[in-house]
Amino acid sequence: MAGTQAIDGDWTIDSLTTVPNSELRRVASPTGCAVIARTPDDASYFFGFHDISPWSADGRYLLMHRFDGELAGLPDGSDEAEIVIWDRSSGEFRVVGRTTTWNLQQGARAMWLPGPGRQVAYNRLVDGGAGCEIVDIDSGARRTFGTTIGAVSPDGRYALTPSYGRLARYWKAYGYQALPPPPGLDAPGPAEDGIWRLDLATGEHRLIVPISELPRGDARDGAGEPYRFVTHLSFNPAGTRIVFYDRSITRDGALYSRFLSATPEGTGLRVIADEKVSHFCWLDEKTLLVWMRRSLLPITRIRSAGLLSNPLVKPLLAFVRSLKGRFKSSMLRESFYELDVDGAAAPHPFEPALFSQDGHPMLSPDGRYIVIDAYPDGRGRIPLAIYDRLARRRVDIADFQHGVVVTDSDLKCDFHPRWNRDGTQICGDVCTMGRRSVVILDVRPALAP
């Protein structure tokens, strides 16, 4: 390390040495990207996932969740979170609403709706069941609907959602424990649950992709079809295609993923990747940046035969899973890949010399830069970098301490970097001694002039 700038005693920005390469460069931000704002210590604050921006269209307000103190476990359905907006011009916080349907990874899916005005949508109980609310923060007008939201179309006309009640049973970190059991909860692949579509003008909602109609693949792991759930719905920038995960937990304890694309009406289903598929962002209308595995080993077939549960195989599996960084990536061919949403082209590795770990990417508004964090290293530090697509250069801009004080991995605090609307600032979630905060960095020093 060439130099370190301390910030509030808890966070540092590290200046890294240049990695020589004729085409690829990894450098330090020349003047440092300062943390310019942080939420107060009166409560825990966080936004959630990295697929949407918490900034209002005019850049004045920052949307987030707030809850009292620290959590020793996942929200149990009685824990309440406030949906608040941070007025960056005055520094004041304003409560938009309250909810018991939230989690620490994606919150209540609080988001700004596209279109004129300033409207916030978030999930909450409505009449004791799944629902959401839309609030006009200028007029105070409120509308409620009888289903949750997961992703909103770019034109703001409708929303798609997975079943957060089903996730509460089968992937607790992403579900809502406050919800009553949804239909088909005890079926591995129900016809009564899956992806729902909500018309934001009329409130009409209907099931468009039942789980029972999704391709089965090879994830049976020798013990029959596992219980499946849908998550991580996302629209492409034009709103003409969606992607989502069809996931299950296998008998050997692995998270098995099928990454599918479809039309927003739920037709034209296509599996574009499977087995190990993780975080992603859109690069354009047809291309995704995805962390995934393309192992030379026939892991899917081995799992389908039940061999990964074999006592003789388990130690080898544990060893492979314990590997870190480039060695694991090269061994299993795990990397970020550029993936065609239509499956028309083979996945193409994305800068494996610069990015050897899974992280949470987000494309800048102008499409030139990608911000990516990573999981904590051996020192418990979370790195943050910006990749310049034009110059093919990685700039390491920050390094944060992962200050979660419990060992439950479901309570982790990922940074989940998110761009503001003009691509000059990034905010993320950090944790210090169990208390969560939102920090904002000025990243203009790391951008090309």
pLDDT 10s digits, 274-325: 989 999 999 999 999 999 998 655 555 555 555 556 666 566 656 655 656 5
Task: Please report the pLDDT score of residue 2 as a whole number.
Answer: 28
Does pLDDT of 332 surpass 80?
Answer: no
| Lowest mean pLDDT segment, chosen from 18-22, 107-111, 349-353, 429-433 | 18-22
pLDDT tier for residue 5 given thresholds of 50, 70 and 90: very low
94-108, 142-156, 321-335, 349-363: least confidently modelled range: 321-335
pLDDT at 16: 28
pLDDT in the model for residue 7: 30
More confident site: 160 or 3: 160
Is pLDDT above 50 for 153? Answer: yes
Residues 7-16: pLDDT tens digits? 332 333 332 2
Span 320-334, mean pLDDT? 60
Give residue-wise pLDDT tens across range 67-110: 998 788 999 999 999 999 999 999 999 999 999 999 999 999 99
Provide the CB-side half-sphere exposure for 445 (13 A, CA). 16
pLDDT of res. 449: 78
Q: 3-state SS string over the chain? A: CCEEEEECCCEEEEECCCECCCCCEEEECCCCCCEEEECCCCCEEECCCCCCCCECCCCCEEEEEEECCCCCCCCCCCCCEEEEEEECCCCCEEEEEEECCCECCCECCCEECCCCCCEEEEEEEECCEEEEEEEECCCCCEEEECCCCCEECCCCCEEEECCHHHHHHHCHHHCCCCCCCCCCCCCCCCCCCEEEEEECCCCCEEEEEEHHHCCCCCCCCCCCCCCEEEEEEEECCCCCCEEEEEEEECCCCCEEEEEEEECCCCCCCEEEEEECEEEEEECCCCEEEEEEECCCCCHHHHHHCCHHHCCCCHHHHHHHHHCCHHHHHHHHCEEEEEEECCCCCCCEECCCCCCCCCCCEEECCCCCEEEEECCCCCCCEEEEEEEECCCCEEEEEEEEEECCCCCCHHHCCCCCCEECCCCCEEEEEEEECCEEEEEEEECHHHCCC
- The per-residue pLDDT for range 228-245, each reduced to its tens digit, is 999 999 999 999 999 999
